[in-house]
């Protein structure tokens, strides 16, 4: 059964990555929200090079709401898709000011109502800042590993999330993304997975013939 398989995978990965957490640097809910928007199709390492200056200049949601888009675009240019990201960050900040009294909302429905925020971003904000679980963040690592391990046959992140939520115990939802990201970076890489070094290779559908 998939529930038994995922329980074994989680147990092993918890031992392998006991301190799994988001690699993005942040101190406040607003900062993790902005950082996660920037991280779309961009490495966490690159985002962490951008945000120190950004967060020292834009200290509050009001600062981001009043930012000039052309200037913000230049400041986040190396994150890629900078025009759309700058537009969404400013629009999300304005929405937070207008609808949530300047506080980053703490529910899935409210977060996904913000410009540029889909379920993945909302899940990361909820888990990282508020320790709340309303779902499982499905990024490129979780998507890749879930399909390789036979946990989901879907390609759409939202459908993969639904599959995972059915088999992953809710108590593990917060850490699930972080552990899979760590394992995706260390062993289950996109181009050349290090299957022989993988701690869960015996539970992986992609490596049935490995010892």
Which amino acids are annotated as binding site for [4Fe-4S] cluster, given as ranges?
A: 188, 195, 198, 204
At residue 154's C-alpha, the angle toward residues 18 and 116, to 5°, is 75
Query: Angle, nearest 10°, between helix axes 173-186 and 140-148?
Result: 80
Count Cβ atoms within 10 A of the Cβ of residue 25 and give its class: 0-12 exposed, 13-18 middle, 19 or more buried. middle
175 is catalytic: no
Tokens matching residue 2: 């998939």
The rounded distance, in Å, linking the Cα atoms of 125 and 123 is 5
120 is catalytic: yes
Q: Which residues are annotated as part of the binding site? A: 188, 195, 198, 204
Query: Which contiguous run of DSSP H or E holds residue 46?
Result: helix 44-57
The rounded distance, in Å, linking the Cα atoms of 193 and 183 is 10
**Catalytic one of 85, 95, 139, 175:** 139
**Catalytic one of 85, 94, 120, 201:** 120
Residue among 75, 92, 83, 119 at smallest CA distance from 34: 92
Count Cβ atoms within 10 A of the Cβ of residue 156 and give its class: 0-12 exposed, 13-18 middle, 19 or more buried. exposed
Residues noted as catalytic: 120, 139
């Amino acid at each position: 059964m998939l529930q038994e398989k995922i329980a074994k995978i989680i147990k092993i990965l918890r031992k392998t990555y006991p301190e799994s957490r988001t690699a993005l640097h942040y101190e406040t809910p607003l900062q993790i929200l902005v950082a996660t928007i920037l991280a779309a199709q961009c490495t966490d390492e690159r985002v962490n090079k951008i945000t120190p200056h950004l967060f020292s200049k834009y200290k509050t949601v009001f600062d981001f709401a009043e930012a000039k888009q052309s200037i913000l675009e230049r400041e986040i240019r190396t994150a890629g898709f900078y025009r759309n990201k700058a537009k969404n960050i400013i629009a999300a900040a304005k929405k937070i000011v207008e609808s949530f009294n300047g506080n980053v909302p703490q529910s899935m429905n409210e977060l996904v109502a913000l410009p540029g925020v889909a379920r993945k971003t909302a899940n990361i904000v909820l888990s990282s800042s508020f320790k709340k679980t309303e779902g499982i963040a499905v990024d490129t690592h979780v998507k890749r590993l879930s399909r390789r391990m036979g946990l989901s046959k879907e390609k759409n992140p939202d459908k993969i999330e639904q599959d995972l939520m059915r088999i992953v115990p809710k108590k593990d939802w917060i850490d699930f993304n972080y552990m899979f990201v760590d394992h995706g970076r260390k062993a289950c890489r996109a181009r050349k997975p290090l299957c022989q070094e993988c701690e869960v290779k015996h539970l992986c559908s992609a490596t049935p013939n490995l010892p």
